[in-house]
């Protein structure tokens, strides 16, 4: 077969479709024709769309991360911390809590008025407590001056201040409260119910004693068992035995008989002795009859006398 164009047969082109140098009838190389160019353009367009889509997705993801899940344009609400006050109600900064001043506390108890009307010579009177018609006041004593009474309880009677008692005082709290003194003022006075002087005191020059139940011996000099005659009998016995003391047996130690056979209380005049039988018996013999010995403890039989 001859080539119409006058070429040398199959030499003008090869089976792979490449065009020969002589421009024979062979086709264009694969991939360089119009269809190949169309497919390449489509691939470029698709690649560009993918890149654009990735950029958009990346931007959206970045925005979501930056906004932390919040709505677009949302302004975060401010965070407030509530601090509870330690005690009481909160006090506005513009109006600080008022503290009681001396003038506020003593508005009803003028110190100069108290000093003038109650006859307190020192005029530098200070009011410690004010409760209506009653006040507790003190005066400042300069160094070197005689102290005397430096604290007073005063009361307003008929519109004028009067001195009720000085401090320390022999007036009992219960007595003062009976006179109308408020408890907050009367609190500075002694409670007579808990004072050292026990109930049963006969009111003699020698106060009634309440010795310790520590095993000491006593020499009993006289016993009074007649109601209505206690004070007279005990006073006479004390006069006969200077330096002696007296007690009420039911207010003393369990080793003493509390009452006589008729149920009357017993007051006894005695002298303290030692802690041994030898000492106690020597003191009993020295006093002579009708003196006898007793132990002050919680174990001795109250019906048995100490034998010497």
Residue 67 has pLDDT above 60, yes or no: no
Bridge partners, 137 (sequence order)? 127, 152
pTM, two decimal places: 0.39
Helices of type H across 157-240: 173-178, 183-186, 230-240
At 57, the pLDDT band (50, 70, 90 cuts) reads confident
Q: Which residue has the tokens 């609190």?
A: 187
* Percent of the chain scoring above 70 in pLDDT: 64
Residue 35 has pLDDT above 60, yes or no: no
pLDDT given for residue 48 in this prediction:
77
- CA R_g for the chain: 59
The Cα diameter of the chain in Å comes to 185
Residue 71 has pLDDT above 50, yes or no: no
Residue 31 has pLDDT above 50, yes or no: no
CA proximity to 192, closest of 166, 169, 216:
169
CA–CA gap between residue 157 and residue 121 (Å, rounded):
20
Please state the rounded mean pLDDT for residues 192-201. Answer: 62
The b-or-e profile of 119-154 (16+ CB within 10 A means b, else e) is: ebeeeebebbbbeebbbbbbbeeeeeeeeeeebbbb
């Amino acid at each position: 077969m001859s080539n119409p164009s006058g070429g040398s047969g199959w030499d003008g082109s090869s089976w792979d479709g490449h065009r020969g140098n002589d421009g024979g009838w062979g086709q264009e190389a694969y991939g360089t024709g119009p269809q190949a160019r169309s497919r390449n353009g489509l691939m470029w367009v698709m690649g560009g769309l993918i890149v654009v889509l990735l950029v958009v997705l990346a931007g959206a993801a970045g925005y979501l991360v930056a906004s932390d899940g919040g709505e677009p344009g949302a302004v975060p609400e401010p965070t407030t911390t509530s601090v509870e006050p330690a005690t009481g109600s909160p006090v506005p900064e513009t109006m600080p809590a008022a503290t009681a001043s001396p003038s506020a506390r003593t508005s009803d108890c003028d110190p100069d008025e108290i000093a003038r009307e109650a006859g307190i010579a020192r005029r530098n009177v200070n009011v410690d407590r004010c409760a209506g018609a009653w006040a507790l006041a003190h005066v400042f004593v300069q160094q070197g001056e005689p102290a005397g009474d430096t604290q007073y309880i005063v009361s307003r009677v008929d519109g004028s201040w009067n001195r009720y008692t000085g401090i320390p005082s022999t007036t009992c709290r219960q007595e003062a409260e009976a006179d109308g003194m408020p408890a907050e003022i009367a609190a500075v006075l002694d409670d007579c119910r808990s004072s050292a002087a026990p109930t049963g005191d006969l009111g003699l020059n020698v106060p009634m004693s309440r010795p310790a139940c520590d095993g000491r011996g006593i020499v009993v000099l006289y016993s009074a068992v007649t109601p209505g005659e206690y004070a007279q009998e005990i006073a006479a016995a004390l006069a006969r035995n200077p330096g002696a003391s007296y007690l009420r047996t039911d207010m003393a130690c369990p080793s003493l008989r509390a009452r006589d056979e008729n149920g009357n209380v017993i007051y006894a005049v005695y002298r303290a002795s030692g802690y041994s039988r030898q000492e106690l018996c020597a003191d009993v013999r020295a006093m002579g009859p009708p003196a006898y010995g007793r132990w002050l403890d919680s174990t001795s039989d109250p019906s048995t006398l100490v034998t010497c």
